[in-house]
Amino acid sequence: MDFHAALETDFARLVEVSAGNLDRPVPSCPGWTVDDLDRHVAAVYLHKIACIRDKTEPADWPPAELAQEETQSQLRRAYRELTDELAARADDEPAGNWYAPDPTVGFWRRRMAQETVIHRIDAELAAGVPSVDVPADLALDGIDEVLRIFLEYSAATWHDEFVEDLRVGGGRSVALAAGGRRWLVAIGPDMLTVAEGDGPAAAEVTGSPDALLRWLWRRSDDATVTITGDSIAVAALRDLLRTATQ
């Protein structure tokens, strides 16, 4: 899919919704205002530029001088520099990354599109304006990303942070279905795996691609999806996602 087009669309919406609402609290990011949200997005963009240029993650972040720059100017500057950097690079070029299986520019191209769509939803929630639906292709890609990279990889790599909730899962599986795709998350007792297919599950969460993506990122509640089966397994998944995406 065209991650650059998605990034461009959602960045423009983020800027549009932020205008005039910088002091509003962001309900999906407790303790943040929209100004804090925009400053975070700018810092993330600039961090990824450093990862791509230096081919390693910066040792000290963020630089002190970032705090001195006006938020909206910094956000726009960071976006311009990020998109220029991505446009000049091939997907298979190396880049610094916490995700060891894919230390490439392509990983960050995808990640920045997904990062931006979630944070423009945050801005919409803060501003109290109708939220634009996430296109199905971007939402399905985002579902796959959060389950396989944030959840499965993180639970294996930083296992100690997930142990308690894995035990609650007790080896049960939760299926997640949207847009003709179905993921199966097997939870605990000692590990977590994600597969795509028609296997049996103790519980199932279904919805539109947009609704399921928001639910997985905890930008919406259970009323926005359909949940059937074992509520304990679903609660364990929800807690694991909180740890994986914080």
Q: Is 31 exposed, middle or buried (0-12, 13-18, 19+ CB in 10 A)?
A: exposed
Domain boundaries along the sequence of the chain = 3-127, 139-245
Q: Evaluate if residue 68 carries a pLDDT over 90.
A: no
At 131 the pLDDT is: 97
139-245: CATH architecture: 2-Layer Sandwich (3.30)
3-127: CATH architecture: Up-down Bundle (1.20)
Structure tokens at 156: 């294996």
| Separation CA 89–CA 160 (nearest Å) | 36
Alpha carbon 58 to its chain centroid, in Å, reads 21
Mean pLDDT of the chain: 96
167 to 18, 185, 188: CA distances (angstroms): 41, 14, 6
pLDDT tens, 86-116? 999 999 999 999 999 999 999 999 999 999 9
DSSP assignment of 52-88 equals HHHSS--SS-S-GGGGGS-HHHHHHHHHHHHHHHHHT
Which range is least confidently modeled, 12-16, 67-71, 103-107, 184-188? 67-71
173 to 23, 210, 234: CA distances (angstroms): 42, 22, 9
- Residue 63: band (very low, low, confident or very high) from pLDDT cuts 50, 70, 90: confident
Can 3-127 and 139-245 be said to share one CATH topology? Answer: no
Q: Helix or strand or coil: residue 27? A: coil
152 to 101, 165, 171, 186: CA distances (angstroms): 12, 13, 14, 10
